[in-house]
Amino acid sequence: MKKKRNTFNYSVNRKNLKRKARKKDAPRIDCREIRKAWDDQKSVASNLAEMGLAADPNKSLPISVGAGTSTEQKVVRKPYVVEGLKASASLPSKRTMGVSSDMALYVHHMVENYGEDYKAMARDEQNYYQDTPKQIQRKVNLYRRHHPNEYKALIESRTKQ
């Protein structure tokens, strides 16, 4: 059995192959609204200008030297992109850090027994991780942000005692 020699293929345009490979390896646009409106034939600056976005923030909001300078308004051909971005930005984030059940019990115990005396909390037996008063204060504040009603009830029950 004879092995075929590698021969140069003259019918393939190497320049176009390299351009296609570079375009294929280009970074993927994560934002769905921008990806749908993107035109590969245009530059980044012209694509963003059509969407009403800025490629260079220094050029989009220039510092006016005098009263005689006028700012040009560019035509936004794809305003739905900005509207979509605003709508998706106004949705609540799915990646909010919550408070684990162990930490909730820990904070509950500390606040129930010591109120807001973080130095006393640091000396408590249940402070297994030997948190400093500042670390305990951060945990209490995190719990307070995520569970304001429960924290308020804890403080009120402590003041009644």
104-154 pLDDT tens trace: 999 999 999 999 999 999 999 999 999 999 999 999 999 999 989 999 999
Whether residues 137 and 84 fall in one domain? no
46-86 pLDDT tens trace: 999 899 898 888 887 777 766 555 556 677 889 999 999 99
Q: How far is Cα 43 from Cα 83, in angstroms, rounded to an integer?
A: 22
- Residue 126: the pLDDT is 93
Asked whether residue 1 is domain-assigned, the answer is: no
Whether residues 80 and 36 fall in one domain? yes
Contact 112, 154 (CB under 8 A): yes
Asked whether residue 34 is domain-assigned, the answer is: yes
Whether residues 19 and 77 fall in one domain? yes
Number of domains into which the chain is organized: 2
How far CA 14 is from CA of 9, 10, 40, 74, in Å, comes to: 10, 9, 20, 39
- Residue 70: the pLDDT is 53
Whether residues 135 and 106 fall in one domain? yes
> Which residues lie below 8 Å from residue 121, measured CB to CB, with a gap of 6+?
110, 113, 114, 127, 133, 136
- Residue 95: the pLDDT is 62
Mean pLDDT along residues 149-161: 87
Expressed as residue numbers, the domain containing 86 is 14-63+73-90
pLDDT over 90 (residue 25): no
Asked whether residue 7 is domain-assigned, the answer is: no
